[in-house]
Homo-oligomer: A and B are copies of this chain.
Amino acid sequence: MGFCMAKAEALMRAISCSLLVLTACLVALDSQTKYIVFTYARKATYKDLNSLPVLVYIDAVAAAYNFFQLGKCTIQPCRCRNKLEPLPSSDQRFLYLPWLCFLLDQVAVYIVFGATVGAMQGSMLAVTGSKVLQWMKLCNRYKRFCMQIGGALLCGYVASIAMVVLSFISAYNLFRLYSPTKIMQLKSK
């Protein structure tokens, strides 16, 4: 069969890893200096909004996690079920690796998605401001800075989608080991 689940997983991990690195770099390296009075310069960086540093750290850790998982895929192809090995036995102890993969992928996708949404919400307030709360807009002054953050968030969302697909794959790899008719029992061979 031409389609291989392990190749799909490796591809998605490579995509999400590179997009997460790109997001972190775009946010962390973004800065713009504006002269408010002729002698007084004000520099906008990602540290102005406390949700942007959080996004940088989380995306860096998630990229490292995906890179590690990708390395595991290429070094030990049998672990990724490139050729699906038969189940060792109906012993539940052999399930620890799929369960670990599944839970780690789930935690990773929710944390990355949450950090991206949080950063977007903070940035939206910087774009729109809030008349009621007397919070002023910032993006009319720091246009290039805001455009770069917007691009970074777009990359972050695409990375989140790739990680959602990865969480589907790890759920598939785990739950297909269970019996379709008996509840939470392994498939008998």
Copies of this protein chain in the complex? 2
Chain B CB within 8 A of A67 CB: no
**Could you say which of B110, B133, B175 contacts A176, with CB atoms under 8 Å apart?**
B175
Number of interface residues of A (CB under 8 A): 48
* Chain B residue nearest to A4 in the complex (CB): B183
A120 interfacial contact with B, CB 8 Å: yes
A22-58 vs B: 1/0 string, CB under 8 Å? Answer: 0000000000000000000000000011110000000
Q: Can you name 25 A-B pairs with beta carbons within 8 Å?
A: A3-B184, A4-B183, A5-B183, A5-B184, A48-B130, A50-B128, A50-B130, A84-B180, A84-B182, A84-B183, A87-B181, A113-B114, A117-B121, A118-B120, A118-B121, A121-B121, A125-B125, A133-B136, A135-B136, A168-B171, A175-B175, A176-B178, A176-B179, A176-B180, A180-B187
Interface residues of A (CB under 8 A from B): 1, 3-5, 48-51, 84, 86-87, 106, 110, 113-114, 117-122, 124-126, 128, 130, 132-136, 138, 164, 168, 171-172, 174-184, 187
